[in-house]
Amino acid sequence: MTHPPPFLEDPDDTRDAIMKATYVALCKHGYSDLTIQRIGDEFSKSKSLLYHHYDSKDDLLLDFLEFMLDQLEEQLPTYREGGADDYIEEIVDSTFSFGDGRPDTDFTQALVELRTQAAHDEDYREYFTRSDQFVRKHVVHTIRSGIEQGVFQEVDPQETAALFQIVFSGTMTQRVTSDDDIFEDARAEFERYVRDCLLAAE
Amino acid sequence: MTHPPPFLEDPDDTRDAIMKATYVALCKHGYSDLTIQRIGDEFSKSKSLLYHHYDSKDDLLLDFLEFMLDQLEEQLPTYREGGADDYIEEIVDSTFSFGDGRPDTDFTQALVELRTQAAHDEDYREYFTRSDQFVRKHVVHTIRSGIEQGVFQEVDPQETAALFQIVFSGTMTQRVTSDDDIFEDARAEFERYVRDCLLAAE
């Protein structure tokens, strides 16, 4: 049984209830076996509402992705009290722990499947381009702050954030498409990179 | 029109001809729109041969992936005359140039789609686990040689190779699922990492 994240637990309107049902159905069936019918099975209100609001499964899923991005935007702090060095440690931690252990793996699996739709579907591609840009902007901002705070070396924030993005994408893909457990090794090496190439010498 | 790689250009037996047809059809239609029928359309011999040899599209595609891995094993040199530092440069170059520009992008797109099948299909998962292990072993070997040659720092070869694998996987995924061109930036940063964290000081 997949438990939805806290912000989905007690949906307070119809759209939130649809989003919760989508989350649960997506974790249960993955992308390819998902149907509006199956989302409806997780929905407490009338299923006809789903067909009324959405033309297709992809239409609903794109709205769901939009909803998740809004949640991410709300949850990410715009200003942090702590140092950028502590924050970059949190970013590294979430990069390598994302999707590690059920039920998160089910959702990561679905996310990777959704992302792959972008290989041949313009709407998914537009979405993932935009969500990547959002995440990267956030990392760039953190790196700039760290340079100003004197805790980071004078790196190029765009270049550093671009590599972070590649590593984030690679970790997610690797997590759900291979039984090879390379995460501990990869993390140790990435932390060595952060220590030697990003953090200012003590 | 997608041109197959040189080793597929003049197939000298039925299996090679099937592999060539699969490559061309996969580049043309992607995974989701591919059918045995469409592979047959690219095949010069009788289509019934395809149905005779393979039970399903996935059965054929798994054989195709196996064939591609064999080719990779044959093409990778077991012993190289040059230094490991030159070779790691080649690896970085192919990591970031892989799938850059048509017709390669079509094939990369199909590969990412095939890899995503591993999220819910055991046979694909077993294959990609094995091919990842093969590639990583090769990188580990290169790093060990570099340490012995004195051109690399005394790094942990497994950890370094694990990060290379994550970056390789992330680059491929990113290449075909986002319009955001972050490759130049990510490459500059990865090269800085190789310079500072892997190469021995001059």
Report CB contact under 8 Å: A169, B167: no
B137 interfaces chain A, CB cutoff of 8 Å = no
Per-residue pLDDT at B1: 46
Query: A112, A176 in Cβ contact below 8 A?
Result: yes
Q: ∠ CA B77-B83-B84 to the nearest 5 degrees?
A: 70
pLDDT tens digits for range A93-120: 989 987 777 667 889 999 999 999 999 8
Confirm if B172 and B197 have CB atoms less than 8 A apart: no
pLDDT at res. A103: 64
Could you say which of B156, B170, B192 has the minimum Cβ distance to residue A169? B170
Residues of A in contact with B100 (CB under 8 A): none
At B11, the pLDDT band (50, 70, 90 cuts) reads confident
Q: The domain B78-202 belongs to what CATH superfamily? A: Tetracycline Repressor, domain 2 (1.10.357.10)
Residue B80, pLDDT above cutoff 90? no
> How close B74 gets to chain A, by Cα (Å)?
23
Instruction: Please calculate the CA angle A113-B139-B89 and round it to the nearest 5 degrees.
Output: 100
Chain A interface includes B78 (CB < 8 A): no
* Other C-beta atoms lying within 10 Å of the C-beta of residue B44: 8
What are the pLDDT digits (tens) for A3-61?
A: 677 777 888 888 899 999 999 999 999 998 999 999 999 998 888 888 899 999 999 99
Looking at CATH, the fold of the domain delimited by B8-75 is given as: Arc Repressor Mutant, subunit A (1.10.10)
% of chain B at pLDDT higher than 90? 69
| Minimal CA separation from B181 to chain A, in Å | 9
Is pLDDT of B82 > 70? yes
The predicted structure's pLDDT at residue A9: 80
More confident residue, A136 or A98: A136
Where exactly does CATH 1.10.357.10 map onto chain A?
Answer: 79-202
CA separation, residue A21 to residues A2, A3, A16 (Å): 11, 11, 9
More confident residue, A77 or B76: B76
Contact A185 B163 (CB under 8 A): yes
Q: Chain A: residue nearest B113 by CA?
A: A116
Q: Half-sphere exposure (CA, 13 Å, Cβ side) for B18?
A: 23
Structure tokens at A30: 């993955």
Q: Which position has the higher pLDDT, A7 or B70?
A: B70
Average pLDDT, chain A: 90
Helix axes B183-193, B157-177, angle to 10 degrees: 170
- Given A129, A161, A173, which is nearest B169 (Cβ)? A173
Q: What whole-number distance in Å separates Cα of residue B181 and Cα of residue B175?
A: 8
Task: Give how far B80 is from chain A: nearest CA, Å.
Answer: 26
Nearest alpha carbon to residue A98 among A6, A192, A187: A187
Q: CA-CA distance, A92 to B159, in Å (whole number)?
A: 16
Cross-chain Cβ contact B166/A162 below 8 Å: no
Contact with chain B for residue A182, Cβ under 8 A: yes
What number of residues does chain A have? 202
Task: Check whether B116 has a pLDDT greater than 90.
Answer: yes
Task: State mean pLDDT over B179-196.
Answer: 96
B133 reaches A (C-beta below 8 A): yes
Per residue in A50-93, pLDDT (tens digit) is: 889 999 999 999 999 999 999 888 877 655 667 899 999 999 99
How high is the pLDDT of residue A80?
61
pLDDT band with cut points at 50, 70 and 90 for residue B9: confident
Contact A177 B120 (CB under 8 A): no
Contact B186 A178 (CB under 8 A): no
Query: How many other CB atoms are there within 10 angstroms of residue B157's CB atom?
Result: 20
Contact at CB, B116 and A190, closer than 8 angstroms: no
pLDDT, mean over chain B:
90
Angle between the A104-117 and A157-177 helix axes, to the nearest 10 degrees?
Answer: 110
Query: How many Å lie between the alpha carbon of B126 and the closest alpha carbon of chain A?
Result: 7
CATH 1.10.357.10 domain extents, chain B: 78-202
CA atoms B103, B133, B171, B36: torsion sign: positive
Residue range(s) occupied by CATH 1.10.10.60 in chain A: 1-75
CA separation, residue B99 to residues A77, B28, B72, B156 (Å): 36, 15, 16, 29
Question: Does the beta carbon of B120 lie under 8 angstroms from any beta carbon of chain A?
Answer: yes
pLDDT at position B75 = 76
Superfamily of structural domain A1-75: Homeodomain-like (1.10.10.60)
Runs of H (alpha helix) within A80-156: 84-97, 104-117, 122-149
Chain A to chain B Cβ contacts (< 8 Å) = 170
Architecture of domain A79-202: Orthogonal Bundle (1.10)
Q: Which of A32, A116, A181 to mutate to test the interface with B (most CBs of B within 10 A)?
A: A116
pLDDT at B59: 95
Region B173-188 average pLDDT:
94
